[in-house]
Structure 1
Amino acid sequence: MLWIHIDRTLKIPLKKQVYEQLRMKILRGELSGGERLPSSREFASHLGISRNVVIEAYEQLLAEGYVEGHQGAGTFVAKGAYLDKELKSGTLSFLDTFDVPEANSDIIDFRSGIPALDMFPRQEWGRLAKQVCLEAPDSIFGYDYPEGRSELRHVLSRYLKRTRGVHCHPDQLVITSGATQALSLVAKLLLSKGDHVIIEDPITHEIQTIFSSTGASLYPLSVDEQGMNTEYLPKNILPSFIFLTPSHQFPLGSILPIQRRIQLIQYARQADCYIVEDDYDSEFRYQGSPISSLQGLEPERVIYIGTFSKILSPALRLGYLILPPTLTERCKNLKWFNDLHTPSLEQMTLARFIYQGQLENHIRKMRKIYQKRREIVRNSLKKEFGENVKILGDSTGLHLIVEFINIEFTKQTINIIKNNKVKVYPVELHTIQKGKHKNKIILGYGNLTKEEIEEGICRLKNALVGAKHEAKQLI
């Protein structure tokens, strides 16, 4: 029987889930032209859903030409609907990227990179947004410049120099709709088919997808307790750029020391390539002061990416690129073709928020809150697992890594954990060279309360005990 995954915890309608997965199987060639689909009654029974759901999904596929219906014979995959082999590994479907928890769900989600959404400074932001709306010139409601509002670029350049050691002129800044757009612009700016990117391994799966979608090849460099292992920088390729997260490696949490930073810069000079620095959450450092940027050491060669999604809210969709002067005009043109410009009202509100010191006040406040949540995670892990776990990369950011003894987080194990109403994320999901981090998971805690953290780790313990019991029964 044909298998697809039905997830009732998602907001996506069941019909959409069935339709989307069948559509992707057809495009990928997993379902061949002329192949008969299961009857709607049989398929619905197999999936444990209403027959009407399957019928509606089949009807949508029929309307779009993916399948054909033959009177009295059933539903068949239409010929000519197979798109490309590369879809098998290179293209994410709607379901692969949709990971928004259902409202009021009782699942405790340890997803990383989500700030405390209930702590967003609504009053201050609302007051400033109202001021901007009432006081700004009429031109703010029209089309704007692709690089962003000059007010935000000026105040942001001063803020970054003071807090992150970044050196740039406001003209080198391009305001983006979040870090994802910034990464996409870098990919379009510097990559084409056949190019090479040296990249940390592990690193966010989404970033791998953005870069490889250009046709470029990823050259992974392993990460240890000091970040990217620069000793193994290749001598036989000329990369377009080197990508890394030096101030808080994602996901393992290590910090690149000055010796490796210098080695990296020297290599980039010799290879005549750029370094792309993703500085996604280094504001929240709990031991000592925030780590200085790599960009401050070599402004002419480092492209710096930042975002306000982790500091304030992902909903704002505000990020930025700092580019060497030689790349700024090309990047502005790409930004214009991409979306004309990032929303102006939000930019102006953020500019005032930074200028009046509200951003730094908010960061100081949230650093204390996240530090307490980090300690709750550590204490809960110690209580439930004792010496059977090792905690890594917890000095900065909104997540930590837990390394388990004698446990591998296979797909089956993750499903058992999810069935216990808790979601965790294996490090292996973000690896390029598989097999080195099977016993590690990422626990994000930014958007979880004390009670949710404690209950979630208790559920995780119960799930892993159940997984071990189930494994013994299979032996």
Structure 2
Amino acid sequence: MRELSAIRFTSKEPLFTQIYQFLKAEIIAGQLQYEEYLPSIRRCAESLQVGKNTVEVAYQLLVSEGYIKSVPKRGYQVVYKAAVPSTNHAVRARELQSPDIRFDFRYGDIELETFPFYQWNKIRNKLVAINQFHYRVEGQPQGEFELRKELAKLLHDTRGVISNPEQIIIGATPQQLVSILVQLLDREKHVIGVENPGYDGSRNTFGNGSYQVRGIPMEMDGVSMQQLVDSGANVMYVSPSQQFINKLVMPIEKRNKLIEWVHSKAYIIEDDYEWEFKYEECFIPSLHSLSPSKVIYIGRLSKALLPVCNVSYMVLPHELLSRFHDRVPEYDQPVSRLDQLTLSSYLSDGYWHRHLQVMRKNYAKKQKSFLLAISHFMGGKAEMEGKDTGLHAFLSVKRKGTEAELMELAHLHGVKVYGTSRYWVRDTRDHPTVLLGYGALNEEEIREGIRLLAHAWFK
């Protein structure tokens, strides 16, 4: 593991952005090679003379983009293979024959042209003009009060979350906010339950923090309560609005059982993942609204709605809020002050709500096209669950082989899909499963991409 002291910081961008951009460039250029480990967060922070949270955010951005992965108890490892000129003519010939990717079903990609950049930039430019002579770059550590006040109102009106701005902490990504919880909870007395399958970012972050982590199997209505009780976990991380793989929406009965369970335990961590995208049924209140003192609430403003910056938020119970002030007094706010102030006005002026309604209709049409294409071209040869939420699908393909083989066959036909094994603690599936995100494709591209996948897998 090498030192990263070669970074030369400027005042133009946040420190975490500069670290992220430097490391990304080094990885792409092959200077940080495949399977090489990055310096630990502590070591990197000391080398660069920055806060650990700053380095943590930079690393999490690289994880989210697939350049590195978190390896429990080892650190962060490069998983991107840089292009290396080959002297082997046979290898070079195969590379030249490799088809171009026509349709990339990458989860998280979106249609940038649908975002109202005019309104966003109008607000941003106005703020720049107002603050040009007395702009404070650092801002408030927990996030700008104006934004936290708007988020408290938004969460109360849409999710039933009862909180005040003082309880809210702004972050770049949910995983970065989980890294704060690693510092607030106690390794000696807290055992973390996570959904299996489920979001690997939180699981790995707790694992890297030396917590005991238990994978809790999923049932048709959410986590198995009996397995949760038997696991010995006293903190449970759940995504009740849309469980990441199965896309389950946890019914109110199971939510009440979880609340009953936590009354004699420590906390529930509620990741209210993509609550904005639910197309048919009514919203079910958040777990936080059922027990504010026992639920830690984490959310983000979906990248599908806000592609211009990463903004996530966490609502802490008062007990943990006081611990936050004691244990993390040096919290280095990762989101630029200008982005926060722009978003605050974007929310208060009503632009967010109008954009949300437009995008729900837009993505509902895409989802309908996606489901129709799967039904038409694959019939009973592939299965999906949870068809009413989100901008992605986990497709279980009824054929022999592995998910890697499915990905390779898709690639040969000009389509890119993604594996799902990383989301499992213990994999119990009968058929290989791949992840398809359709947020960035139009309806015609979705249909043609699915047609090519059906030809690749079932011809």
TM-score in terms of structure 2 length = 0.77
Give 2:247's match in structure 1, choosing from 239, 250, 253: 253
Q: Tell me if structure 2 keeps the 8 A contact 1:117–1:313.
A: no
Distance in 2 of aligned mates of 1:125 and 1:286? 26
Structure 1 residue 24: Cα displacement: 5.1
1:145 is the counterpart of 2:129? no
Residues 224, 189 of structure 1: alpha-carbon distance in 2 compared, 3 angstrom cutoff: same
The aligned counterpart of 1:215 is 210
1:190 is the counterpart of 2:185? yes
The aligned counterpart of 2:78 is 94
The aligned counterpart of 2:417 is 424
For structure 1, list consecutive stretches of 5 or more residues without a partner in the other structure: 1-10, 28-85, 99-104, 467-475
The aligned counterpart of 2:129 is 134
Q: Could you say what secondary structure the match of 2:34 adopts?
A: helix
Q: Which moved more, 1:408-417 or 1:260-269?
A: 408-417
Deviation digits for residues 342-380 of structure 1 (CA, Å, limit 9, x no counterpart): 311111111111111111111110000100000111111
Distance in 1 of aligned mates of 2:358 and 2:326? 38
Q: Tell me if structure 2 keeps the 8 A contact 1:146–1:333.
A: no
Q: Could you say what secondary structure the match of 1:221 adopts?
A: strand
Q: Tell me if structure 1 keeps the 8 A contact 2:124–2:338.
A: yes
Distance in 1 of aligned mates of 2:431 and 2:186? 31
The aligned counterpart of 2:54 is none
Residues 250, 226 of structure 1: alpha-carbon distance in 2 compared, 3 angstrom cutoff: same
Q: Could you say what secondary structure the match of 2:378 adopts?
A: helix
Distance in 2 of aligned mates of 1:408 and 1:184? 37
Q: Tell me if structure 2 keeps the 8 A contact 1:399–1:446.
A: yes
Q: Aligned-pair RMSD on alpha carbons?
A: 2.9
Q: Could you say what secondary structure the match of 1:441 adopts?
A: strand
1:172 is the counterpart of 2:167? yes
The aligned counterpart of 1:262 is 256
Distance in 2 of aligned mates of 1:260 and 1:238? 17
Give 1:386's match in structure 2, choosing from 364, 379, 383: 379
Residues 330, 447 of structure 1: alpha-carbon distance in 2 compared, 3 angstrom cutoff: farther
Structure 1 residue 420: Cα displacement: 2.5
| One-letter identity of the residue aligned with 2:33 | E
The aligned counterpart of 1:21 is 34
Give 1:225's match in structure 2, choosing from 220, 223, 226: 220
Distance in 2 of aligned mates of 1:365 and 1:324? 34
The aligned counterpart of 2:451 is 458
Rg (Cα) greater in structure: 1
Residues 13, 341 of structure 1: alpha-carbon distance in 2 compared, 3 angstrom cutoff: closer
Deviation digits for residues 164-210 of structure 1 (CA, Å, limit 9, x no counterpart): 11111111111112222212212222253785211101112222211
Q: Could you say what secondary structure the match of 2:276 adopts?
A: coil
Residues 106, 406 of structure 1: alpha-carbon distance in 2 compared, 3 angstrom cutoff: closer
Structure 1 residue 223: Cα displacement: 1.4
Residues 352, 446 of structure 1: alpha-carbon distance in 2 compared, 3 angstrom cutoff: same
Distance in 1 of aligned mates of 2:321 and 2:313? 12
Q: Tell me if structure 2 keeps the 8 A contact 1:280–1:310.
A: no
The aligned counterpart of 1:109 is 104
How many correspondences in the alignment? 389
Distance in 1 of aligned mates of 2:425 and 2:326? 32
Q: Could you say what secondary structure the match of 1:275 adopts?
A: strand
Q: Tell me if structure 2 keeps the 8 A contact 1:222–1:228.
A: yes
Distance in 2 of aligned mates of 1:88 and 1:162? 38
Tell me the percent identity: 27
Q: Which moved more, 1:410-419 or 1:384-393?
A: 410-419
Residues 197, 408 of structure 1: alpha-carbon distance in 2 compared, 3 angstrom cutoff: farther
Give 2:232's match in structure 1, choosing from 221, 233, 237: 237
Deviation digits for residues 292-344 of structure 1 (CA, Å, limit 9, x no counterpart): 21110010010111112434235512111101011124335666534245311
Distance in 2 of aligned mates of 1:279 and 1:387? 31
Distance in 2 of aligned mates of 1:15 and 1:309? 27
The aligned counterpart of 1:469 is none
For structure 2, list consecutive stretches of 5 or more residues without a partner in the other structure: 1-23, 41-69, 83-99
Residues 440, 168 of structure 1: alpha-carbon distance in 2 compared, 3 angstrom cutoff: same
